[in-house]
Amino acid sequence: MISATIPINEEFRLEALRSLNILDTPSEKEFDEITSLAAFLCDTEIALISLVDSDRQWFKSKHGLDVCETPRDVSFCAHAILDPENPLIVEDARKDDRFKNNPLTTVEKLVIFYAGIPLVDKNGFALGTLCVIDSKPKTLSKKQLESLKSLANQVVMLFELNKKNTDLEKVQSKLKKRNDSLREFARVISHDLKMPLANIITTTDLLKLILNGKLDEESSEYFDYIKTSSFSMSSYISDVLDHYESDSLLQNKPEKFDLNELLQEIVDLLSIKPDFTINFPTANTIIESNKLVLKQVFFNLIANSIKYNDKEQIEISIDANEDENFYFFRITDNGMGIPNDKLDTIFDLFTTANTTDRSGNKGNGIGLSTVKKLVGKLGGSIKVTSTEKVQTTFDFYIKKYN
């Protein structure tokens, strides 16, 4: 028996293998289906996905074999990875000087025929093989060998896909930690800044009262500016907090409720004035969903329809439909509209479509970003269409709880 030599790139090859984080992982259906198919196509007793580690070969998938690994010094696959570009075919190991005294051949009488296709990653490192084994001499047809090569390519693709998924999970974990930190930061900032802002607003009103009759018009305007800016900053802080705390709403369980009753609650909260007309869906729709989340979505959209409206008589219409899997909603207003060059970015955080709202205040671009996030969490999507100076329509849907 002749043990395989160590590849010249062994250190880097092992680094590439271990970067996959696949050694000693449980069996997976996708890999097991490949070895089962390989054994069938090649008409062999055994098929393996073998990864050559520093001192062993470990089987990610095995068909027709019970053991999970064998020592590297008796490994046929350790020979196969020495020539990554070509398959290793051993039709009768008893006649091959490299293997004729191999215990897997002479004692176990397990490996007489061997065919291994090196599993080569995108950097050219041979990580192991897809191999088929039989306890009697065999030959493979050209078609069988080509099929085995195709299956080996699929194994490498699965390795790469698994690594990408693992890397993605790590990124998602880091993003979650950062998002949690931002949420905590927003909570602290909200508490630490809103109280001083409230004090500024109160002090401004008090000073104007004390100095009543002693301020000229310009000085009075400065006081008004301080108060307006403080209210604007307080609103901005509240919106940031709502954005980062919106996920907490998703913890509520779904419940059944009347959509029109929910919309009436929102109208009452917004203190709709006589110059507003809001049309509810003609038929009462019973919804089964996360009520608080849907309430937040409608509240933001209706509030925006009111804020960004330049008409004397504001009109908002709300429609609702459903099918077996989804609820569909539409909110249309006769407001300022959204410029065409803003439609693609209107749901991005800190992006606004208009310079100022109905009261002359500038938006902060947080509300619609929160809406999009909440709708997505409910298994849906939202889109907007608009004609500037005429109307804006938001269409969105959410998934039913089945």
Walk me through the domains of the chain, giving residue ranges and CATH numbers: 10-169 (3.30.450.40), 250-402 (3.30.565.10)
Contact at 8 Å (CB) between 42 and 162? no
Per-residue pLDDT tens over the stretch 185-197: 666 666 666 677 7
Per-residue pLDDT tens over the stretch 280-316: 998 878 999 988 889 889 988 998 888 888 888 899 9
Per-residue pLDDT tens over the stretch 345-373: 888 765 665 556 665 565 555 678 888 98
Binned at pLDDT 50, 70 and 90, residue 132 comes out as very high
Binned at pLDDT 50, 70 and 90, residue 142 comes out as very high
DSSP label at 67?
Answer: -
pLDDT at 256 > cutoff 70: yes
* Residue of 78 and 229 predicted with greater confidence: 78
pLDDT at 395 > cutoff 70: yes
265-295 burial, b at 16+ Cβ within 10 Å, e below that, comes to ebbeeeebeeebebebbeeebebebbbbbbb
Region 131-157: what's the mean pLDDT? 96
Per-residue pLDDT tens over the stretch 152-173: 999 999 999 998 888 888 888 8
Q: Nearest 5 degrees, angle CA 393-CA 251-CA 328?
A: 25
pLDDT at 235 > cutoff 90: no
pLDDT at 143 > cutoff 70: yes
Region 141-151: what's the mean pLDDT? 96
Region 102-106: what's the mean pLDDT? 93
Lowest-confidence pick of 72-81, 274-283, 371-380: 274-283
This prediction's pTM? 0.53
Looking at residue 246, its pLDDT comes to: 57
The pairing of beta strand 113-120 with beta strand 126-134:
antiparallel
pLDDT at 243 > cutoff 60: no
How far is it, in rounded angstroms, from Cα 400 to Cα 402? Answer: 6
How far is it, in rounded angstroms, from Cα 333 to Cα 294? Answer: 19
Looking at residue 271, its pLDDT comes to: 67
Q: Kindly report the average pLDDT of the chain as a whole number.
A: 86
DSSP label at 3?
Answer: P
Looking at residue 373, its pLDDT comes to: 87
* Residue of 377 and 351 predicted with greater confidence: 377
